[in-house]
Amino acid sequence: MKIIIAGAGMVGAGIAQSLEAEGHDITLIDRDSETIEAVANERDVICMLGSATNPDTLRESGAAEADILMAVTESDEANMICALAARRLGAKHIIARVRDPEYLTQMEFLREAIGLSRVVNPEYECAKEISRILRFPGAVRVETFSKGSAEIIDCRIPEGSPLHGLCLRECAQRFGAKVLVCVVERGDEALIPHGDFVLQSGDKLSLMGEAREVRRFFASVGQKGRRIRNVMIMGGGRISVYLARLLDESGIAVTVIDRSRERCNELCDLIPEARIICGDATHDEVLLEEGIRGVDAFVALTGDDGDNIVTAMYAKRCGVGKTVVKVNMRHFSGMLDEGSDSMVTPKEIVTQQITSYVRAIGNSAAWGSIETLHRLAGGRIEALEFKVGSGANCIGKELRELSLRRGVLISAVTRGEKTLIPNGSTVIECGDNAVVVAPAGLIKDINDLTDGEK
């Protein structure tokens, strides 16, 4: 597909990298010459210097023939103007990044008024992911499928866990919870395991199941964790505003610390339910004075990866059970203790969403389309949710009858409001949502699951 991306910043460049790997024809527009030059030197994409709000620039980029145009500059208003111009020029599908909390309640109006195919808000999606992580204190990461009916939870097996030395088939029999271990990370390896696979302490697991079944599993293996009742947030940016509102809806008390007096005054109006502190949370005396030793979770959300990581480390030394760290550069992730730390990267969240949407457009055929895509194990494995159409070659057969490709695992099937953890006798029906785990890039549509012909 021909795809135009307006904005070559961190988000735009990340999307370009992901979609380039998918084999699409990418054109990237940015008004900053140094940014465009840097991307041109690194990526095999067409780079244009210019303003994406200028119709002449859009015409020159080929917006009239574009399958998808994405407006992901730093300015919400510029993105909306670009989207409106692209719609007038004839772009088929238009995506805009809109981040300001003031626009959150107006999303449907904006989509209809401007003609947007999709609105993406990395900060809001990041806040939702953090709120999910805090619901499962024993989890490192939580991803949802089928509008929340099924979840993939990442967790680490600690020393002394009853899971150590058990094969997966024994786990299902002993603990009873209806969950499926769909990925195991051990050292540098990322594995999609079978029933005879033996777990070890230190393994990082990706568990698939309904939320209540995952909680039941954690309780059975002694990793339930302490319920989180109060959270301290370092940094008062957009993610913090969204997160504070979500946590307040769950009855969780929130303290936000920011070093800017002006921003603190704004936060008092934006999130009046939260306790706002003006101070520098990288100073231990500020954290101690504001009660770091008494909070259940600490979330570091400043724009400085180093400050976020170091301050989260200090919070753990103070006895905080759960820490969540925002990082923009993934190479910092090796500094985190995955036994108690969770890492979120807004750029990667929105990249996954857009990659999923682009694949869905390309695969909207009789056999089904992609609804959701999440990357696991550092991007080496993908979990894809398909809406099963009438032409899918897996319909009406027991899973044991399907000749699945090597490394492919059907990990969940959602039918109506019910989520099934499948076994060999499970039959997929038209209209089901099927979650498939496979090595990255192996599966493009649901008929790629088997070795048979479409």
Secondary structure of 50-80 in HEC code, one letter for each residue: CCCCCHHHHHHHCHHHCCEEEECCCCHHHHH
Q: Across residues 18-25, what is the average pLDDT?
A: 89
Mean pLDDT of 28-36: 94
pLDDT of residue 365: 52
- Between 340 and 385, residue with greater pLDDT: 385
| pLDDT for 174 | 86
Query: What ranges do the domains of the chain cover?
Result: 2-120, 127-220, 230-343, 349-448
The stretch 392-396 carries a mean pLDDT of: 89
Residue-wise pLDDT for 54-99, tens only, equals: 999 999 999 999 999 999 999 999 999 999 999 999 999 999 999 8
pLDDT of residue 390: 85
**Domain covering 349-448 assigned CATH 3.30.70.1450 in the classification:** yes
Q: Strands, E, within 90-201: which ranges?
A: 93-97, 118-120, 141-145, 150-156, 180-186, 189-191
- C-beta of residue 208 within 8 angstroms of C-beta of residue 152: yes
Burial class (CB in 10 A: 0-12, 13-18, 19+), 286: middle
According to DSSP, the residues that pair with 95 across neighbouring strands are 70, 118
Q: What is the dihedral of CA 402, 403, 409, 415, to 10 degrees?
A: -20
Q: How many CB atoms lie within 10 A of CB 418?
A: 9
State phi, psi for 400 to the nearest 5 degrees: -65, -20
Instruction: Return the beta strands (E) in 75-218 as ranges.
Output: 93-97, 118-120, 141-145, 150-156, 180-186, 189-191, 204-209
Mean pLDDT for the stretch of residues 277-295: 96
In tens, the pLDDT along 98-120 reads: 988 888 778 888 888 888 888 89
- Say what the pLDDT of residue 338 is: 53
Q: Strand, helix or coil at 384? A: strand
| Rounded Cα gap, residues 209 and 151, in angstroms | 6
pLDDT in tens, 157-208: 988 899 999 999 888 788 877 899 999 999 889 999 988 999 999 999 999 9
Q: How far apart are alpha carbons 346 and 344 in whole angstroms?
A: 6
- What's the angle, vertex CA 419, arms to CA 418 and CA 421, rounded to 5? 140
The CATH number that domain 2-120 falls under is: 3.40.50.720
Do 449 and 413 touch, CB atoms closer than 8 A?
A: no
Cα→Cα distances 192→168, 213, 377, Å: 12, 21, 11
pLDDT at site 100: 86
Does the fold of domain 349-448 match that of domain 127-220? Answer: yes
Q: Is the pLDDT of residue 245 over 80?
A: yes
Structure tokens at 200: 């070890």
Residue predicted with more confidence, 352 or 96: 96
Cα–Cα distance between 227 and 11 in angstroms, integer? 34
Residue 124 — φ and ψ, nearest 5°? -65, -40
Paired tokens of 71? 């407006």
Q: Over 60: is that where the pLDDT of 337 sits? A: no
pLDDT for residue 452: 55
pLDDT band of residue 339 (cuts 50, 70, 90) is very low
Query: What are the tokens at 175?
Result: 């603990």
Give me the residues paired with residue 385 across strands.
Answer: 372, 435
What is the pTM assigned to this prediction? 0.82
Q: Can you name the CATH fold of 127-220?
A: Alpha-Beta Plaits (3.30.70)
CATH for 230-343 (3.40.50.10880, 3.40.50.720, 3.20.20.450, 3.40.50.970): 3.40.50.720
- Give the model's pLDDT for residue 441: 84
Residue 255 has pLDDT above 70, yes or no: yes
pLDDT at site 454: 40
